[in-house]
Each structure stands twice: as structure tokens, then as C-alpha cells.
Amino acid sequence: MFVFGFWGKTVTKNLFLIFLCWGIVSISCIGEARCLLGEAVQQKQGLKASLPVYQDCALIENDDDAQYFLASLYQRGGDGVSPSTGKALLFYHLSAENGNARSQTELAKLLLKLDETSQGRQEIQSYLRKIQTALGQNESNPFKGELLHPYTLLLLAQENGKQKWYYPTKMTTSTEATALLKNYKVDPQKRAQALRDASSWKRKKMLEAAKEVFSPQEYQVFYQSIYPKEGRSDPFTRSQELEKLKKQIYQKYFDTQR
């Protein structure tokens, strides 16, 4: 990290960016500054004081790295922060939904650990009740609060990053997930269901990405070419529409997310 003097004190390059954003009318810049501010506050006032800023970044900006940071913090506790399984589940869950491979791996490990005891299973059920109550009946929110099976999470985490070009987060992969899958014993029926669930999750993310970058009319054309009501999709048309989506995603997000 670059460090330089400012007003006689050491200020990080990240804090300088925050000052710059103050004079720029840009939502993306404000969002980036909000997330970078957490690190600046942590360095000056300590971790506990920076929690509200990290939480704003995680919840308002939907930043998967901030979500992962908070999840791991609440899982282990320390530095004046009390451990909380519920909060660790929440932030791992949000980050995993964004496609963060580390969070998908850690969430799978945490769920497997909790499933070993009756108390742990109760904590999972308690979390699910709370998150689904909080979400209510909001049909417009793509995050429905469902937890994927640990095996499904590991399948998604270990997938090659280049295949995740339509994810709402950086294209990452987890070698730890690959290693865990080799030793994961699951019956063939559950394995097949996990594969179907992984495919369904990726389809959901692709459609969410298409809605973000296409007009309503373009989205309908895309949807019908990828998932026709009758028969199989035409390979050439499907390939054209996928390339069009990829181009649109890169044009919109390359400078800020890729």
C-alpha cells in the first residue's frame, strides 16, 4: 500500500481517494469511497470503531469482500468484537450469493461444522427463520434467503474463474474447495441434486446479470434464445446472445468491478 505524508500525518492512498470522491458527483465513486473508509477508520480508531463503516459497505454497497471480512471477523471474534454465529452466517451467505469463492468455501465449512451437533443445527434453523422473516414477501429481491447445500457451495467455489464472467463479483476460484470435494463423501442421489442446484444457481445469476445490462426487450430475446418454451435452443443463436451479454457486462463493469 502506498503511504504518504498529509498535514504532517501519515494518510493512506485509500483515504486520499475518499477526499477526491467528495468533489465528484459519481455514485460509483461514493460507493468505492464508503468501502475504503473502513480501512482508514480501522487504522486510526481500531477495528471495533470501523464496524459500522464495513457494515455499510457490506449491506448498502453489497461489497462481497466487506461481507467476507465481517463474516470471518464474527466467526472468530476478538479485537473487541464478540463472536456471533448468526452474523457470520449472514455475511458469508451474502458474499457467497455474490459469487465470492472464499465465502462459498467458508460457508460450506461452517454449515458442516454446525451440522455435527444439535445445537449447531438449531443455530442454522434460527438463522434461516430470522433471514426469511427479515426478507418478508419482497418478490423483487433476488436474495431469497435459501442456503445451498455445502456440497453445492463447494462445487461453485472450485469452478474455474474464467467461467464466472457473469458473476456480480470478481471471477475467483477456491483451491481449498477442490481439495475438500475430493474427501467429501455424499451419496449419488445427493450429488446429482447438488449438481442440479449449482446449475440452477448459475442460471439465476446469469439472468440477473442480463436484466442489469439489457433493455426489457433485449432481455426477452435473450431469455427465449437461452431457454425456449419449446424444443432445444439453437446453438448458434444461443452463442450469439451469450457473447452479446458478455460484451455488455464488460462494457458496464470493466472499469469498476473487473
- 10: three-class secondary structure by DSSP: strand
Q: Do 153 and 186 touch, CB atoms closer than 8 A?
A: no
Residue 171 carries which side chain, given as an amino acid letter? M
Same domain, 220 and 171: no
Same domain, 191 and 240: no
Q: Are residues 171 and 221 in the same domain?
A: no
168 with 99: CB under 8 angstroms? Answer: yes
Residue 126 lies in a domain: yes
Indicate if 193 and 86 belong to the same structural domain: yes
Write out the residue range of the structural domain in which residue 9 sits. 1-61
The one-digit pLDDT tens for each residue of the chain (258 residues) are: 222 222 233 333 333 333 333 333 333 445 566 677 777 777 777 777 788 888 888 888 889 999 999 999 999 988 788 999 999 999 999 999 999 999 999 999 999 999 999 999 999 999 998 888 877 655 555 556 689 999 999 999 999 988 888 887 778 899 999 999 999 998 999 999 999 999 999 998 999 999 988 999 999 999 988 888 776 778 888 889 999 998 888 777 655 444
